[in-house]
Amino acid sequence: MTVSVAMERPAFGVGLAFSPLAATSFKWRGTTGRTLVDAALGCQVAESPRTSTRDIARAAIRAELAQVALVLLGREGFDRVTVNDLAAAAGVSRSTFLRYFASKEEAVLGAFDDQGRQVADALRARPVDEDDWTALRRALDTLIAIYRQDPVGSLAMARLVQDTPALCARRLEKQSGWQPLLAATLAERHGATDDPGLRPTVLTAVALDCLNIAVSRWTDSDGALDLEPLVDEAFAVFTPRQPP
C-alpha cells in the first residue's frame, strides 16, 4: 500500500474510536476513527497489561487535544492561535490543556518524543547480517507506517510543520535528541557498548535527513507522490555501489 493522496486541504473530525472521554467535560463533536494523532501518540498502550487505566485515559485525552490543535492551527495559522484558543476549542481550561502540553509546539509535535525509541526498537530487531544503512532504512518503516495509516492527517501535520518556522525548528530539535539513541543502537549491532563512535553517529544523522527531505517532497506534492519510494530514492543516493 502506498502513501499517496491527491486532495484539497482537509477538514477533520475529531475523536477516537475507543476514547474514554464520556466521563470527562470535553465538549467537541466529530467523527470517530483511528487518526494520525491517535496512532502517533502511542494510544496502543491499551494493549499492554502493565498499563493502568489512568495511563490509557491520559494518552487518549492527549490524542484528542492534539487533534483539536492540529485542526485549529492548520485552519487559522500557528501564529494566530493562542493556547487559550486551543483550550477553548477543546472545551477545557487553559490550566487543563497545559497539564497535557506545555506549549502549542508540543501539542503538534508531542508524538515525536516516542518515535525515536520506536525507530531504535525497530533497528534493534533487524537481522544482524544486514548492513547498517539498509537496517536504518528498514527501521524507518515504523514512521512511514504512520503516514500510511492516515495520509490525509499526515499531510495536514506535515504542511503545518513545514509552513511554521517554530515547528520546523522544534521538530529538528526533537529528532536531534533521537540521534544518540539510534547511534548507540547501531553500534550495538557490532558489539559496542560505550561510545558509539563517529560512523554510527553520521549514518543516523544522514538517515534522518533523508527522511525529512522525502517528507518535504511528499508534502510539496500535496501527497500526490508516494512517500516510501521517495525515502528509498533519498537513501539510494548514499547506498554504496556494488562493484561491476
What CATH number does residue 32 fall under?
1.10.10.60
Of 108, 128, 143, at which residue does a domain stop? 108
Q: Are residues 104 and 121 in the same domain?
A: no
Together in a domain, 88 and 139 = no
C-beta separation of 67 from 51 below 8 A: no
Rounded-to-integer distance, Cα 35 and Cα 67, Å: 8
User: Is the domain of 100 the same as that of 132?
Assistant: no
pLDDT at 45 over 50: no
Last residue of a domain, one of 62, 78, 108: 108
Is 98 in the same domain as 127? no
Confidence of residue 55 (pLDDT cuts 50, 70, 90): confident
CA distances from 182 to 117, 147, 196 (A): 8, 21, 10
Average pLDDT over residues 126-150: 94
| Per-residue pLDDT tens digits for 212-222 | 999 999 999 99
Q: Which domain holds residue 32?
A: 21-108
13 in a structural domain: no
Q: How confident is the model at residue 5, as a pLDDT?
A: 37
pLDDT of 138 reads: 97
> Among 51-65, 86-100, 125-139, where is mean pLDDT lowest?
51-65
Q: Tell me the pLDDT band of 195, cut-offs 50, 70 and 90.
A: confident
Q: Say how far apart CA 83 and CA 97 lie, in whole Å.
A: 8
List the one residue out of 55, 64, 53 whose CA is nearest residue 26: 64
> Domain for residue 3, yes or no?
no
Least confident of 18-32, 179-193, 222-236: 18-32
Residue 12, in any domain of the structure: no
How far apart are alpha carbons 13 and 28 in whole angstroms?
10
Domain endpoint, select from 108, 140, 175: 108
**Domains held by the chain: number:** 2
The mean per-residue pLDDT over the stretch 194-218 comes to 93
Q: What is the pLDDT of residue 1?
A: 38
E strand map for the chain? none
User: Does residue 151 belong to any structural domain of this protein?
Assistant: yes
Residue 118 included in any domain:
yes
pLDDT tens track for 144-179: 999 999 898 899 999 999 999 999 999 999 999 999
Give CA–CA dist 65/60, Å, rounded.
Answer: 9
